[in-house]
Amino acid sequence: MQAFLQTLIYGVETGAIYALIALGYTMVYGVLRLINFAHGDVYMIGAFVGFYACTQWLPFKDLSQHPEAAAVNIALALITLFLSMLLCALLGITIERFAYRPLRNGFRNADAHFWGFVIALPVTAFVGAMSTTKRQGALLFAGVVIGFIMRPVMAHLTKRIKPSSSRLNALITAIGVSLILENGGINVFGADPKFIPDILPKRQFSLLGVEFNSSRLIILIIAAILMAVLRYIVLYTRPGKAMRAISHDIDAAKLMGINTDRVISFTFALGASLAGAAGFMVAAFTNIKVVPLFGLQPGLKAFVAAVLGGAGNIPGAALGGLIMGVVESLVASRYPQWRDAVAFILLIVILLVRPAGLLGKNTAEKV
Amino acid sequence: MIQLRQKSSLFGALLLGVALFGIGCKDKEEAKPSGTGKTGETTDTASRGNTVTGDTIKIGEYGSLTGDNSTFGISTHRGIQLAIEETNAAGGINGKKLELISEDDNSKAEQAKTVVQKLVSNEKVIAVIGEVASSRSIMAAPVCQDAKVPMVSPSSTNPKVTAIGDYIFRVCFTDDFQAVVAAQFAWDQGYKNVAVFTDVKSDYSKAFGELFAKKFKTLGGKVAAEPTYQSGDVDFKAQLATIKGATPDAVLIPGYYTEVGTIARQAREVGLSVPLFGGDGWESDQLIPGAGIALEGCFFTNHFFSHDMTEPHILSFIAAFQKINPGKQPGALDALGYDAAKVIIEALKRAKSLDSVALRDAIAETKDYQGVAGKITLDANRNARKEAVLFKIVGKEFKIFKSYRPEQVGL
Amino acid sequence: MSEKVLLSIDNVTMRFGGLAAVSEVNIHVDKGELVGLIGPNGAGKTTLFNLMTGVYTPTEGDVSFDGSRLNGRKPFEIVGSGMARTFQNIRLFKALTALENVKIAANIHRQASLFDVVLRTPHLLKLDGELDAFSRDLLQQMDLADVADVRSSDLSYGLQRRLEIARALATKPKLLLLDEPAAGMNPQEKAQLMGLIRQIRERFSLTILLIEHDMKLVMGICERIYVLE
Amino acid sequence: MRWLLGRIGVVVLTCAILLVANRLLIDNIKEYYISVLVLCGLYATLAVSLNLINGITGQFSIGHAGFYAVGAYVGGAWTMLMRPLVVKSLPILQTGTQLGDHLNLFIALVLGTVCAGLTGLLVGLPSLRLRGDYLAIVTLGFGEVIRIVILNMDVVGGPRGFTPITALVNDHGIPLVWVFGLLVVVVAFSRNLVKSAQGLKFLAVREDEIAADAMGVNTTRVKVTAFVIGSAFAGAAGVLYAHCQTGVNPDSFDMNTSITVTTMVVLGGTGSISGSLLAGIVLTALPELLRYDFIKDYRMVIFSTLLVVFMLTRPQGIFGHREIALPRFLRRLIRKKENAP
């Protein structure tokens, strides 16, 4: 019984993380009916922001040598949390603006310029790698030159591109963005695993024979707070209401004077910041390896969790995440090799019974 | 509408043309030099091995320079490069310079095979170095065997690799040995009841665990529990709780450092405080950052190399290494990459002629070569008989704790 | 039940959740009749069509057609037994040409196995030839011959409506269900449509049940009218 | 009768062309290029077969690697595990002889195809209840489950891969004939399907399922048929893959492979057979051709960026729904010349 309870607690801890990531998936899906495959990679970026903040940008103290610095570290950790949320929100907005908006509104001039620059980036890096001196100035110059050449070329090539409504298309675009972030991550951060050192004091205690760990509890508490804030935003604020309006009917929302593009941006920012927070917390408080593929598996699991709960349904995502975490944990304690399979089998079974997920509304197509 | 249609067709045709042109071009280019006595003969590429032509001796390397295991590939590559550069700086071999041709297999088994084919049949390399991961070595080795080009693996420890054929060698010990050492060590330490926590995704880990269990049982020990995990997992607590329930004296984790640190931390979190020990997959400067203090006092078996060692040949290796890679400490994989290249280079010096068949014979004769990761003698099964060393983790350092020779564990 | 009755709906009720979209409806249509079905928005006219064509299965009551009970049968089976429909919001196969649209519907009475298709056996070629001739002929009769090879989404609204009727006719139905065929048409087009409906009824000796809002049109051509409220 | 002779003629002619091309190639081409060509052929087969499901029938499957894996492992299991048991009573299946090798490969092919087709039936069933993204994620899940099951099957090697699998067609270049033979079959199959009125059913399901249903198309059967055929062909490709590579590893069948194949279909133009064919070949060959030193490190970033830009600027893929057909292309060319003066 105790062992069961313990396993359950572990499941909830994992599930909270899935839930945080799943919320981002589900919000975007609710608003745009798009599987934002890049969401897991935003989570990865959050972890990397955390890594660089903890090891280079911010003056964290090594607790094993300065035990008195705990208070300072806690303050800095909070700053890091906001920093990764902020940077990830910006990333989310950028992704939406230049990868998904062209799908809705057509490929505009500004998009051509942006992608021209993006294509120029690896070329620039290549020029940088070629020059033996590796002078930063030359590199920057080459980048600007190539970027300026690429922009009009792109802009010219892509005149009069109409928006596409194909779902498959949107999916492949999202996968493409995910691949850019992963492979770009390998080029920028390197593929070798990185670990965030211990930044917070840890304490272990047991209650009724069940082991608790302070850093895990922190994750749980912060996750709960963030979800509560999200719930408040979605239910009671103007942009939150606009979000819900869009998820019901984007065209009607547009006609009612809602600036849909801005609200969609906001949705992405919200989802991405949650993923960023989760990425930082997981990397910093569980000290698992931070690699460019950090978000692949959790991203997929979280997405499955979102679908499980009913894509587009916010409480559903939280519930789906928790269920996934608990079921995985229970299976892993007995048959660990089937852990990943169980996630999918559970999904398949639930979707066959309830095609719209646990809390999703089953809307039959109108004839 | 019509215009659009034509445009798209033209675009398609253009793409097709470019693709065909690309393939066509390469064929012609490559076909010319080999096609002196063209017609009538069937292809002679793979039947007699490769011979050195021109002023350079081409040596191929394939490794995981990108992808999941890129750290292993990159480390090994550094060592190989060092050996090649040293030799070239010393004037090459018989006045011929060495040329290293590296191919990336993206940590994927199917690509490993393709790139080795490229090395062997296009680049006509005289020998191939690679891979770290046994699964990829196993996929690529048959290509070398068929083409009669010797392949030297720096650190594939799975016994099956060299069993593929007489052209496949390795300069490291095998898992049979390493696992047996681990078992002997555990017994010597007085552990009677050991849990084994293996990575089911890794063949290395599975074989290690099984061989360990077998030997440990014959010594009289008991395997308390055998749960598994998968590399890439981030949560191991459910399994660790199971292990804790079995109350072992120690836990063997034959995995890679990428997970071991996390496992160790979570082991302590679930209240499992017994010593953990493992194999050469632990060796990395990232092990301690990953584990924090959770691995204090734990052990792992490894190749006979440490940057703490003070033998002159090791000191000079470290110095040379740091000249090229300032601020970096070489690890066992660097050392083994270096040794693999060196074994080939030494054999080239001894070889009767500069072709891959003669080179194979010369490599097979390698005896008592003093590599940086231990003395190398290749046995009849083309495996290196080497010492294994046990490191103890003390603070942020790996200290040599004990070492075992094959004879000492009854091999 | 008399021989004359083609379609009869007895005490049919349909509930979605707790809400009854249609409750205790009784309708019967005799062979050769042209019957209208009218009612305010939300009265359940389209739901009734969906019940007849097998999209939904009634919660209570029976639908029978041509002497056999339809409850629980799949839409494609019902089409095969001779009931075809059009849709309120046009549902053509947009990326396909007008001819292809008709061919798909006409294909229903043909027997060609996958084996025939893949090897293009003489049997298949013969069937394909017949089908092509039949479909082109039908388009001809519906004045759609010159747009046969135009993508259906590129057709004008009126033509799309007409193509939808042609497509339904291609299944060789006994009963044709038209769901608001005149929606969105101007008076002139409506007049044309009335002519067309009469014409096809004669030519194909059809029974027709139609939903319509335009009372003029309904009064103009229908012989009997049901009001749903 | 004339028809039968005609069909046989086509088959013989195709075989002859393949054999002659093969003869020409093996004397002049390196083993490496052959293996790249083999991969091109296999991926093109995968793309065309997935196009049957995603493009022509409009379903949303992104788990194609699972069927590929089933084929590869079943084929391998025949050659390495079952054949040795059967060969005692059926000496004709002895390997090493021309006949025995080809016969064995054929049996492996049949078994792999059938098993993959059955798996396709299993995976196709959810398509009856699920649409769009939900179906996509379920197929993806099935693909992963298949891989995990393989990972846990020790008899086929589990994580260390199923090696070695005897290369049944060991002769230089003979794999090419089999691989491209399969490609011809799958392309011909798809083309004949779409060309006949019967095949229009599949397109109707893609365009509007409810209308198709109302026009007498048995949508259930059409969807499941598409899944079964598409996955059977993927299985056949898997069998050849296992024998050409002389071994398989579960890693070759992960999500990335599925996604690559899906990308090929979309890039080629969803629904366009020639588009899938071309995209399959180009996308396999391109990364190999890009193996130059200078671009090596960045090739994956460049590749993914180009993918996104391509999706945004040419959402319909290379060909859209259209096909390129050589006769039509030539006709248009001639017509243009006539108009020119």
Q: What is the pLDDT of residues A274-326, one digit of tens each?
A: 999 999 999 988 888 898 888 888 898 898 899 888 888 888 999 999 999 99
Same domain flag for C192 and C178 = yes
Same domain flag for A85 and A121 = no
pLDDT of D15 over the 70 cut: yes
Range(s) of the domain holding residue B370: 56-173+310-386
User: Does residue D331 form part of some domain?
Assistant: no
User: Does residue B1 form part of some domain?
Assistant: no
Q: In this complex, do A186 and B66 lie within 8 Å of one another by their Cβ atoms?
A: yes
The pTM of this model reads 0.85
User: Does residue B281 form part of some domain?
Assistant: yes
Nearest to D226 by CA among D80, D49, D66, D68: D49
Same domain flag for B198 and B294 = yes
Same domain flag for A33 and A131 = no
What pLDDT does residue D134 have? 81
Q: In this complex, do B229 and A336 lie within 8 Å of one another by their Cβ atoms?
A: yes
Q: In this complex, do C95 and D218 lie within 8 Å of one another by their Cβ atoms?
A: no
User: Does residue A361 form part of some domain?
Assistant: no
Nearest CA distance, D317 vs chain B (angstrom): 10
C209 Rama sector, left if φ>0, alpha if ψ -120 to 50, beta otherwise: beta
Same domain flag for C72 and C182 = yes
Interface probe, candidates A180, A182, A324, A358, chain D, greatest D C-beta count within 10 A: A180
Mean pLDDT for chain C overall: 87
Same domain flag for B181 and B298 = yes
Same domain flag for B323 and B354 = yes
Mean pLDDT for chain D overall: 83
Nearest CA distance, D264 vs chain A (angstrom): 10
**Lookup result for tokens 């049979």:** B176
Rounded Cα distance between C141 and C135, Å, is: 10
**Lookup result for tokens 């691949």:** A179
Q: How many CB atoms lie within 10 A of CB A251?
A: 9
Q: In this complex, do B121 and D31 lie within 8 Å of one another by their Cβ atoms?
A: yes
Phi/psi for D66 (5° steps) reads: -60, -45
Give contacts of D197 with chain C, Cβ < 8 Å: 103-104, 106-107, 110, 127-128, 131-132
pLDDT of C175 over the 60 cut: yes
Domain end: C172, C187, C219, which one? C172
Domain end: A145, A161, A177, which one? A161
Q: In this complex, do C104 and D213 lie within 8 Å of one another by their Cβ atoms?
A: no
Q: Is B36 on the interface with D (CB under 8 A)?
A: no
Question: What's the total number of domains in chain B?
Answer: 2
Q: In this complex, do D133 and A167 lie within 8 Å of one another by their Cβ atoms?
A: yes
- Please name the member of B232, B245, B290 whose beta carbon is closest to the beta carbon of A287: B290
- The subunits that touch chain A, with at least 3 C-beta pairs less than 8 Å apart, are B, C, D
B232 Rama sector, left if φ>0, alpha if ψ -120 to 50, beta otherwise: left
What pLDDT does residue B10 have? 38
Nearest CA distance, D172 vs chain C (angstrom): 32
Q: How confident is the model at residue B54 (pLDDT cuts 50, 70, 90)?
A: confident
Nearest CA distance, D35 vs chain B (angstrom): 7
- Please name the member of B66, B238, B271 whose beta carbon is closest to the beta carbon of A333: B238
- Please name the member of D138, D270, D304 whose beta carbon is closest to the beta carbon of A351: D138
Q: What would you report as the CA-atom Rg of chain A, rounded to the nearest whole angstrom? A: 22
User: Does residue D52 form part of some domain?
Assistant: yes
- Which residue of chain B comes nearest to A197, CA vs CA? B289
pLDDT of A162 over the 50 cut: yes
Same domain flag for B291 and B194 = yes
| Domain containing residue C215: CATH number | 3.40.50.300
Q: Is A326 on the interface with B (CB under 8 A)?
A: no
User: Does residue D320 form part of some domain?
Assistant: no
Least confident of A145-154, B168-177, B297-306, D160-169: A145-154
The more confidently predicted of residues D328 and B73 is B73
| Domain containing residue A252: CATH number | 1.10.3470
Nearest CA distance, A183 vs chain D (angstrom): 5
Q: What is the pLDDT of residues B153-190, one digit of tens each?
A: 998 888 888 998 999 999 998 888 889 999 999 999 99
Same domain flag for A270 and A171 = yes
Q: In this complex, do C117 and D219 lie within 8 Å of one another by their Cβ atoms?
A: no
User: Does residue A366 form part of some domain?
Assistant: no
- Which residue of chain D comes nearest to C117, CA vs CA? D193
pLDDT of A51 over the 90 cut: yes
Could you report the predicted ipTM of this complex, rounded to two decimals? 0.82
User: Does residue B12 form part of some domain?
Assistant: no
Nearest to C58 by CA among C90, C88, C83, C26: C26
User: Does residue B154 form part of some domain?
Assistant: yes
pLDDT of C186 over the 60 cut: yes
Give contacts of A163 with chain D, Cβ < 8 Å: 315
Nearest CA distance, D104 vs chain B (angstrom): 21
Same domain flag for C2 and C41 = yes
User: Beta strand pairing status for B369-371 and B250-252?
Assistant: unpaired
Interface probe, candidates D311, D314, D316, D321, chain A, greatest A C-beta count within 10 A: D311
Mention every residue, 6+ apart, whose C-beta is less than 8 A from residue D335. none
Mention every residue, 6+ apart, whose C-beta is less than 8 A from residue A359. A309, A310, A313, A315, A316, A319
Same domain flag for C105 and C65 = no
Q: In this complex, do A187 and D298 lie within 8 Å of one another by their Cβ atoms?
A: yes
Question: What's the total number of domains in chain A?
Answer: 2
- Which residue of chain B comes nearest to D23, CA vs CA? B42
pLDDT of A349 over the 80 cut: yes
User: Does residue B39 form part of some domain?
Assistant: no
- Which residue of chain D comes nearest to A159, CA vs CA? D313
Q: In this complex, do D294 and A130 lie within 8 Å of one another by their Cβ atoms?
A: yes
Q: In this complex, do C96 and D207 lie within 8 Å of one another by their Cβ atoms?
A: yes
Nearest CA distance, B42 vs chain A (angstrom): 42
Rounded Cα distance between C73 and C71, Å, is: 6
Same domain flag for B233 and B215 = yes
pLDDT of A142 over the 50 cut: yes
Same domain flag for C192 and C167 = no
User: Does residue A274 form part of some domain?
Assistant: yes
pLDDT of C61 over the 90 cut: no
Q: How confident is the model at residue B22 (pLDDT cuts 50, 70, 90)?
A: very low
Nearest CA distance, A166 vs chain C (angstrom): 13
User: Does residue D309 form part of some domain?
Assistant: no
Domain end: A122, A141, A161, which one? A161
User: Does residue C89 form part of some domain?
Assistant: no
Nearest CA distance, B264 vs chain A (angstrom): 11
Q: How many CB atoms lie within 10 A of CB B20?
A: 13
Nearest CA distance, B240 vs chain A (angstrom): 8
Mean pLDDT for chain A overall: 84
CB–CB of B277/B186 below 8 Å?
yes
Q: In this complex, do B235 and A10 lie within 8 Å of one another by their Cβ atoms?
A: yes
User: Does residue A272 form part of some domain?
Assistant: yes
Q: In this complex, do D315 and A166 lie within 8 Å of one another by their Cβ atoms?
A: yes
Same domain flag for B191 and B155 = no
Handedness of CA B26, B32, B34, B35 (dihedral sign): positive
- Which residue of chain A comes nearest to B271, CA vs CA? A211
pLDDT of A160 over the 70 cut: no
pLDDT of D176 over the 70 cut: yes
User: Does residue D34 form part of some domain?
Assistant: yes
Range(s) of the domain holding residue D110: 29-262
Same domain flag for C78 and C178 = yes
Same domain flag for A231 and A243 = yes
Residues of C in CB contact (< 8 Å) with A are 46, 50, 55, 87
Interface probe, candidates A124, A168, A367, chain D, greatest D C-beta count within 10 A: A168
What pLDDT does residue A337 have? 82
Same domain flag for A137 and A225 = no
User: Does residue B46 form part of some domain?
Assistant: no
- Please name the member of A191, A213, A282 whose beta carbon is closest to the beta carbon of B71: A191
Interface probe, candidates A26, A179, A349, chain D, greatest D C-beta count within 10 A: A179
Mention every residue, 6+ apart, whose C-beta is less than 8 A from residue B235. A10, A14, A328, A329, A332, B266
| Domain containing residue B199: CATH number | 3.40.50.2300
Q: What is the pLDDT of residues D47-64, one digit of tens each?
A: 999 999 998 998 888 889
Same domain flag for B91 and B153 = yes
Same domain flag for B180 and B245 = yes
Nearest CA distance, D334 vs chain B (angstrom): 14
Q: Work out the average pLDDT over B245-249.
A: 90
CB–CB of B336/B303 below 8 Å?
yes
Q: What is the DSSP letter of B93?
A: B
Rounded Cα distance between A317 and A309, Å, is: 5
User: Does residue C42 form part of some domain?
Assistant: yes
Q: How confident is the model at residue A136 (pLDDT cuts 50, 70, 90)?
A: low
CB–CB of A101/A261 below 8 Å?
yes
User: Does residue A266 form part of some domain?
Assistant: yes
Q: In this complex, do D201 and C107 lie within 8 Å of one another by their Cβ atoms?
A: yes
Same domain flag for B165 and B295 = no
Range(s) of the domain holding residue C75: 1-82+174-229
Q: What is the pLDDT of residues D236-282, one digit of tens each?
A: 999 999 998 888 888 889 888 898 898 888 888 888 898 899 999 98
- Amino acid, res. D282: V
- Which residue of chain B comes nearest to D246, CA vs CA? B139
B 135-194 residues with CB below 8 A of D? 135, 138-139, 142, 158
Same domain flag for B284 and B328 = no
Percentage of chain C exceeding pLDDT 70: 99
CB–CB of D243/D165 below 8 Å?
yes
Q: What is the pLDDT of residues C79-136, one digit of tens each?
A: 888 899 999 888 999 888 999 999 999 988 877 788 888 888 888 888 889 999 999 9
Question: What's the total number of domains in chain C?
Answer: 2
Q: Is A1 on the interface with C (CB under 8 A)?
A: no
Range(s) of the domain holding residue A270: 2-104+163-353
Same domain flag for A72 and A23 = yes
Q: How many CB atoms lie within 10 A of CB D125?
A: 15
Q: Is A62 on the interface with B (CB under 8 A)?
A: no
What pLDDT does residue B11 have? 40
- Please name the member of A10, A213, A287 whose beta carbon is closest to the beta carbon of B262: A287
The more confidently predicted of residues D196 and B129 is B129
Q: Work out the average pLDDT over A205-219.
A: 81
Same domain flag for A80 and A133 = no
CB–CB of A38/A174 below 8 Å?
yes
Same domain flag for C75 and C178 = yes
What pLDDT does residue A92 have? 95
Mention every residue, 6+ apart, whose C-beta is less than 8 A from residue D75. D108, D109, D111, D112, D165, D238, D239, D240, D242, D243
User: Does residue A360 form part of some domain?
Assistant: no
User: Does residue A359 form part of some domain?
Assistant: no
CB pairs < 8 Å spanning A and B: 96
Q: What is the pLDDT of residues B271-293, one digit of tens each?
A: 888 999 999 888 887 888 888 88
Give contacts of B139 with chain D, Cβ < 8 Å: 161, 163, 245, 247, 249
- Please name the member of B229, B232, B289 whose beta carbon is closest to the beta carbon of A195: B289
Domain end: C136, C154, C172, which one? C172
